[in-house]
Amino acid sequence: MAKDKAEDKVEEVAPDAAAAPAQAQLQQTLIVDDSNISAGYANFCRVSSTPEELILDLGLNPNPYAQGEVRVPVNQRIIMNHFTAKRLLQALNMALARHEQAFGVLETDVRRRVRR
């Protein structure tokens, strides 16, 4: 990876000269490097778990209303520990709550969304 691109950085702030070393506070600054990002779209998600990890398989179901056997190609697999999964859950809950506050409740049951 090229060094001239933005990279994740950790920055330490020196304690005040009058402050005791035990009271020194460290500040972390994260810079997200998305120069090599690969974007994808998923309308299918399978969640599985081991005692150490949570696994998200993401894919595109080309015909979500098809009958019978449907093959869904999984294009992305995200593996994380359960602590990161819980933080992701909290972040998604906050993002969805903001969206619903602005645009209304998202109904996930397709049958309830159909207008008659």
Containing 44, the helix (H) or strand (E) segment is strand 44-49
Report pLDDT for 24. Answer: 67
47-53 CB contacts, 8 Å cutoff, 24+ apart: 49/82, 52/81, 52/82, 53/79, 53/80, 53/81, 53/82
Give me the residues paired with residue 53 across strands. Answer: 81
> What pLDDT, on a 0 to 100 scale, did the predictor assign at position 4?
46
pLDDT value at 11 more than 70: no
pLDDT tens sequence across 53-88: 999 999 999 888 889 998 999 999 999 999 999 999
Q: Which of 1, 108, 2, 12 is nearest to 64 (CA)?
A: 108
Asked if 84 and 67 touch (Cβ cutoff 8 Å), the reply is no
Model confidence at 2: pLDDT above 90? no
Full-prediction pTM beyond 0.75? no
Instruction: Give the tokens for residue 29.
Output: 């600054």
**DSSP code for 14:** P
